[in-house]
Amino acid sequence: MPKSVIIVGGSIAGLLHGIYLKRHGANVIILEQDPNPRRSSHNAGICFGPSVQEFLRLYNDTGIQACQPAVVTRLAYRQNLYWRDTGIVRHLTSWGVLYRILRANFDGLASDAVTIPPPARAGDGQCSYLPGQRVTSVQKTSDGVVVGYLGEDGKERCSVADLVIGADGLHSTVRGLLNAPVVKEYSGYVSWRGTVCEAKVSPETARYFQDRTVLSLLKRTYIVCYIIPPDSGSFAPGTRLINWVWYCNLSETPETNFAELLTDTNGHLHANTVPSGLVRAEIWKSHLAHMLPLIPGPFAELFTQTEQPFITKVNDALCSKATFFDGRVLLVGDALATFRPHFALATEQAARHCLGLARVWKGEISLQLWEREAVDHAIKIWLGSRVMGAGLLRGWVEFLLLAWKYVVFFARSKLGWNRV
Ligand SMILES: Cc1cc2nc3c(=O)[nH]c(=O)nc-3n(C[C@H](O)[C@H](O)[C@H](O)COP(=O)(O)OP(=O)(O)OC[C@H]3O[C@@H](n4cnc5c(N)ncnc54)[C@H](O)[C@@H]3O)c2cc1C
């Protein structure tokens, strides 16, 4: 078990690892480039898999409800709104609620969702969450690993630790500094996203989305909707949000004007996401004018009622190595692998990495085995989400090609031929 740890990135993966380590006596510093400690979600939902639920069962001392199960997954096909109901149960919440619960457990941050944070447990290590600190260098020395970072005040500082965890997301600085092998690609489609308070839509529309995940399968475009709490964590009916994600094809051709699409109301060009509230009205209006006639009633109502939709250019990334400097630097969460979001497994992957490392620190498995499992799992989900995206959005040729790659990968795994 490391005694001192620096975690780069204070989002979901960073906080999960931070909580586990401090609860087991390590002294943990989280360095987060975002200067705002009370961060808000992109107003979009996240899904809890079994590892997130297991983590919260063991380490969440707030007693706050973190998610709500959607008991049915409904499929709508073209104009048929009630095509199929499946028994798939998904546990859903918002990023903001999970972040607030994790911060309350990590460093006792009080928020609208967790007004009274839990006290530290006996044996907890010391911990601090430092916002506004952008990591710029990582170097191995005889004393450990030295991390250099630039503060909001323009001052450069450095700290040393036994272990450094890179939990810094899709565009990971740590991964770049280590020259780690990575494949990063644009998917060929964008996602529009937004939320509408369930009290703002007609009673019929509210009823249609209640307690369900709904997938609307249209021609080369599809929509996913489900109920999430606002960042304050209220699950009371009438206060919740209907969250929607609308995937639309947008191939990268010389005619595609991404600069136009990703330039916000202040003239700033974003790499991937134009955040909620900053999308230029004319971009959303022209998208709606073009697509709305194809969209069935309840979904069209959500889109027209949404005040601040936002857009993301969907990318994925896969790194084939998770451990560096003899295991003193690790990559976890989206920094190791960012998936196209069709299965909503990003948070689950982060929790899985943490519970896997817990087994390493308890001496149950080796770090090499953890790395192999993490990379194999990442490839499986990375390929699987590409297959699903291609099937629903990109057409048969791309779908069959990716499905074939997936089958080959699966067969090689069974034969034990996939090795880091
Ligand atoms: C503010 C925010 C809101 C989000 N909202 C949603 C949502 O509503 N729905 C959803 O599905 N997903 C959301 N995500 C993404 C989601 O958290 C991840 O896909 C998933 O949970 C895995 O998390 P992660 O911690 O590995 O990566 P991320 O969540 O991407 O976190 C990476 C963190 O590292 C920080 N960072 C990056 N570079 C540096 C550096 N050089 N120095 C210091 N810090 C650095 C980033 O600021 C970020 O906080 C959000 C992410 C953020 C940061």
What is residue 419's predicted lDDT score, i.e. its pLDDT? 55
Q: Which residues lie below 8 Å from residue 34, measured CB to CB, with a gap of 6+?
A: 10, 131, 132
Centre of ligand 1 from the C-alpha of residue 11, in Å = 5
Mutation choice for ligand 1 from 95, 184, 273, CB with most ligand atoms inside 8 A: 95
Centre of ligand 1 from the C-alpha of residue 167, in Å = 8
Q: Say if residues 309 and 213 touch (Cβ distance below 8 Å).
A: no
188: pLDDT confidence band, cut at 50, 70 and 90? Answer: very high
321 phi-psi bin (left φ>0, alpha ψ -120 to 50, beta other) = beta
Overall average pLDDT of the 245-262 stretch: 91
User: In this structure, which topology does domain 4-42+96-183+317-385 adopt according to CATH?
Assistant: FAD/NAD(P)-binding domain (3.50.50)
What is residue 377's predicted lDDT score, i.e. its pLDDT? 96
The 10s digit of each residue's pLDDT in 82-95 is 999 998 889 999 99
What is residue 121's predicted lDDT score, i.e. its pLDDT? 97
Is 405 touching ligand 1 by the criterion CB < 6 Å? no
Is 135 touching ligand 1 by the criterion CB < 6 Å? yes
Overall average pLDDT of the 206-212 stretch: 92
Is 10 touching ligand 1 by the criterion CB < 6 Å? yes
The 10s digit of each residue's pLDDT in 403-413 is 999 898 888 88
What is residue 37's predicted lDDT score, i.e. its pLDDT? 79
Q: Is the pLDDT of residue 420 over 60?
A: no
What is residue 305's predicted lDDT score, i.e. its pLDDT? 96
What is residue 418's predicted lDDT score, i.e. its pLDDT? 67
Is 33 touching ligand 1 by the criterion CB < 6 Å? yes
Least confident of 72-76, 100-104, 188-192, 324-328: 72-76
Nearest CA to ligand 1 atom 18: 346
As a whole number of angstroms, the distance between CA 107 and CA 132 comes to 16
% residues pLDDT > 90 (the chain): 85
What is residue 16's predicted lDDT score, i.e. its pLDDT? 98
Residue 328 is given by DSSP the state T
Centre of ligand 1 from the C-alpha of residue 414, in Å = 33
